[in-house]
A and B are shown apart, each in its own frame.
Chain A
């Protein structure tokens, strides 16, 4: 079959309990823009069970077609089945681009598909644009600047992107599209099976929606210093995030790490305490209205990226700041 123009732009969509996950909708929005730039279609690939009546948001977000595998066997992410099905579809439809969310599933599925298709894959992109040759430029932060990665020859061009990098698209309820059913591959060996999926409900304020985010870094020094930073977050009713060194020390879980391969936040106020403004962390903060840093090194790169800076030992400064905040809050109590 002669192909005119470019193959479609695909998003491998993720669902949980029949709800399309936020990152997939955000990617769908971006896919639609990229498809427009290539004069081709934006399409979704979705597996799950009983999903037939839940795909409308994908069309509203920009999909022209949805390849839907809706089947009890596909209810959970089964790596071998999903990979086989996606690869078969890709070999048939030859997408130009495939995007996946940087979720646990996406980060495993993407390389399995890419290796099978013998193509390139970029991780944790913070932007995707088409260059002058309509090749997908995949931007990742590194070495204090930005790397543009391209996959010049092989197709499809593949990338994973975290939730929050792209905005939620304005849903267009008038958009509709085609649903193409996908059959489950029968010939997959049972060498790998999902026995159980357990979701735990996080009890902290979710980082992505917090108005105030306090993020701590290695400057906390030890668990006592970390506790002070957590107290600051409490005092401000803020969500508490961290950098990678904090996760390495074991003071905070990986789920609270803000950054390129962690969580993305866009608060009104961001306060970075005892962190150096490492790029991998700072790209996790988009569109904060006010940014503050507390760090004892006047030469720290973090001070180039914030509105207000305090050069001081965070372990000494944070308790004083907490005192002031509490005093202010007391005065604010109105009848």
Chain B
């Protein structure tokens, strides 16, 4: 069984709040935030690894990103993926979800016959949730988003539960198919030393635009139907009053303010 897990290198969410719009130049302020593996992609990896325990499975970790993103692909190898592919080329830069999905779909088609594609439901940056479904469309595959449980996965017809705001829908899917997964699906595997050692003998292949054989207009900024037209900073309309005093005094003051405003 061939499984592709699409993974993304994102700025570490714990430090990502440091990336801010400069109020004067209206561009992003330069900030050195390290790249990490997108959290939901770890759930996607685990879904593939669980299948590898039951069936004869080959897992490819696929990512589109700058050269720095290779680290997270290697992390996927250390988690248990068999092979890594990094799509890296200046031509891919500036891609919106559509162009990203197109590029990834082209790479998946180049990998060969695939049974399952797993994606995290969303990335912690961007967070559109579009890439999984759009990959499915470009590959003409069925897709189920927000998968919270894989109920039946023996054979070519799967049953999966997809989350609703309150509840779920039970879907029957014919493989090959694309699934985007939620946190509810599983608990990601820890990165262990023996996995890191085993990753030494696995390879990461780099593909650029020539390897994919796609025109420059189809990928990156040129291939993106949407663009950012401007960045603006927002002003808060509230002036804060910081309460002072001992803990008891502050609590008393706060309650009084709330009662006086009529909200309590």
- Do A and B share a direct contact in the complex (Cβ within 8 angstroms)? yes
A binding-site residues for B, Cβ under 8 Å: 76-77, 79-80, 103-104, 107-108, 110-112, 114-116, 118-124, 131, 137-138, 141-154, 190-202, 211-212, 236, 247-248, 254-255, 261, 268-269, 276, 278, 289-293, 298, 301, 303-312, 316-317, 320-321, 323-325, 328
Asked whether B238 lies within 8 Å of A305 as measured between CB atoms, the reply is: yes
In this assembly, does B234 line the interface, its C-beta being within 8 Å of a C-beta of chain A?
yes
CA distance A194 to B122 in the complex (A): 23
CB distance from B230 to the nearest CB of A (A): 5
In this assembly, does B248 line the interface, its C-beta being within 8 Å of a C-beta of chain A?
yes
Q: Which of B137, B171, B225, B250 contacts A120 (CB 8 A)?
A: B225
Q: A145-B233, A198-B168, A316-B247 are in contact. Are A114 and B130 (CB under 8 A)?
A: yes
Asked whether A149 lies within 8 Å of B247 as measured between CB atoms, the reply is: no
Number of interface residues of B (CB under 8 A): 76
Asked whether A120 lies within 8 Å of B164 as measured between CB atoms, the reply is: no
B binding-site residues for A, Cβ under 8 Å: 17, 19-21, 23, 28, 39, 96-98, 101, 122, 127-130, 132-134, 136-138, 142-146, 159, 162-174, 177, 182-184, 224-234, 236, 238-243, 247-248, 250-252, 254-255, 257-259, 261, 263-264
Most buried by B among A112, A118, A122: A112
Q: A79-B142, A309-B242, A317-B247 are in contact. Are A194 and B170 (CB under 8 A)?
A: yes
Q: Which residue of A lies closest to B249 (CB)?
A: A320
Asked whether B242 lies within 8 Å of A118 as measured between CB atoms, the reply is: no
Chain B positions within 8 Å of A108 at CB level: 133, 143, 145-146
Chain A positions within 8 Å of B167 at CB level: 197-200
Most buried by B among A118, A138, A145: A145
Asked whether B238 lies within 8 Å of A291 as measured between CB atoms, the reply is: yes
Asked whether A111 lies within 8 Å of B97 as measured between CB atoms, the reply is: yes
CA distance A149 to B137 in the complex (A): 23
CB distance from B13 to the nearest CB of A (A): 8
Q: Which of B23, B127, B243, B257 contacts A261 (CB 8 A)?
A: B127
Chain A positions within 8 Å of B143 at CB level: 79, 108, 112, 192
Asked whether A111 lies within 8 Å of B173 as measured between CB atoms, the reply is: no
Asked whether A104 lies within 8 Å of B164 as measured between CB atoms, the reply is: yes
Q: A146-B231, A310-B250 are in contact. Are A194 and B169 (CB under 8 A)?
A: yes
Asked whether A115 lies within 8 Å of B98 as measured between CB atoms, the reply is: yes
Most buried by A among B134, B231, B264: B264
Asked whether A268 lies within 8 Å of B97 as measured between CB atoms, the reply is: no
Q: Is the contact region of chain A dominated by helix, strand, or loop, or is it mixed?
A: mixed
CA distance A149 to B116 in the complex (A): 32
Q: A104-B165, A195-B170 are in contact. Are A120 and B224 (CB under 8 A)?
A: yes
Asked whether B170 lies within 8 Å of A114 as measured between CB atoms, the reply is: no
CA distance A290 to B257 in the complex (A): 10
Q: Which residue of A lies closest to B128 (CB)?
A: A123
26 example contacts (A-B, Cβ-Cβ < 8 A) are as follows A76-B169, A79-B142, A104-B163, A111-B133, A112-B136, A116-B137, A121-B226, A145-B20, A146-B231, A149-B229, A191-B142, A192-B143, A196-B170, A197-B170, A198-B170, A254-B184, A261-B122, A261-B127, A261-B129, A289-B261, A290-B261, A312-B247, A317-B250, A320-B248, A324-B255, A325-B264
CA distance A308 to B259 in the complex (A): 13
Chain B positions within 8 Å of A197 at CB level: 164, 167-170
CB distance from B51 to the nearest CB of A (A): 20
Besides the known contacts A107-B145, A255-B166, 10 further A-B residue pairs in the complex with CB atoms under 8 A apart = A77-B169, A104-B146, A123-B129, A144-B233, A145-B20, A192-B174, A197-B167, A197-B168, A306-B238, A312-B247
Asked whether B225 lies within 8 Å of A151 as measured between CB atoms, the reply is: yes
Chain A positions within 8 Å of B165 at CB level: 103-104, 255
Chain B positions within 8 Å of A196 at CB level: 169-170
Asked whether B233 lies within 8 Å of A146 as measured between CB atoms, the reply is: yes
CB distance from A188 to the nearest CB of B (A): 11
Chain B positions within 8 Å of A292 at CB level: 254, 258
Chain B positions within 8 Å of A289 at CB level: 261, 263
Asked whether B133 lies within 8 Å of A149 as measured between CB atoms, the reply is: no
Q: Which residue of A lies closest to B137 (CB)?
A: A115
CB distance from B178 to the nearest CB of A (A): 11
Q: Which of B23, B171, B229, B239 contacts A192 (CB 8 A)?
A: B171
CB distance from B42 to the nearest CB of A (A): 11
Asked whether A145 lies within 8 Å of B240 as measured between CB atoms, the reply is: no
Q: Which of A111, A137, A278, A320 contacts B247 (CB 8 A)?
A: A320
Q: Which residue of B lies closest to A250 (CB)?
A: B183
CA distance A111 to B131 in the complex (A): 8
Chain A positions within 8 Å of B234 at CB level: 141, 144-146
CB distance from B221 to the nearest CB of A (A): 12
Asked whether B166 lies within 8 Å of A147 as measured between CB atoms, the reply is: no
CB distance from A262 to the nearest CB of B (A): 10
Chain A positions within 8 Å of B230 at CB level: 147-148
Chain A positions within 8 Å of B98 at CB level: 114-115, 118-121
CA distance A199 to B252 in the complex (A): 43
Asked whether B227 lies within 8 Å of A149 as measured between CB atoms, the reply is: yes
Asked whether A149 lies within 8 Å of B228 as measured between CB atoms, the reply is: yes
CB distance from B261 to the nearest CB of A (A): 5
Chain B positions within 8 Å of A310 at CB level: 242-243, 250, 254
Chain A positions within 8 Å of B250 at CB level: 310, 312, 317
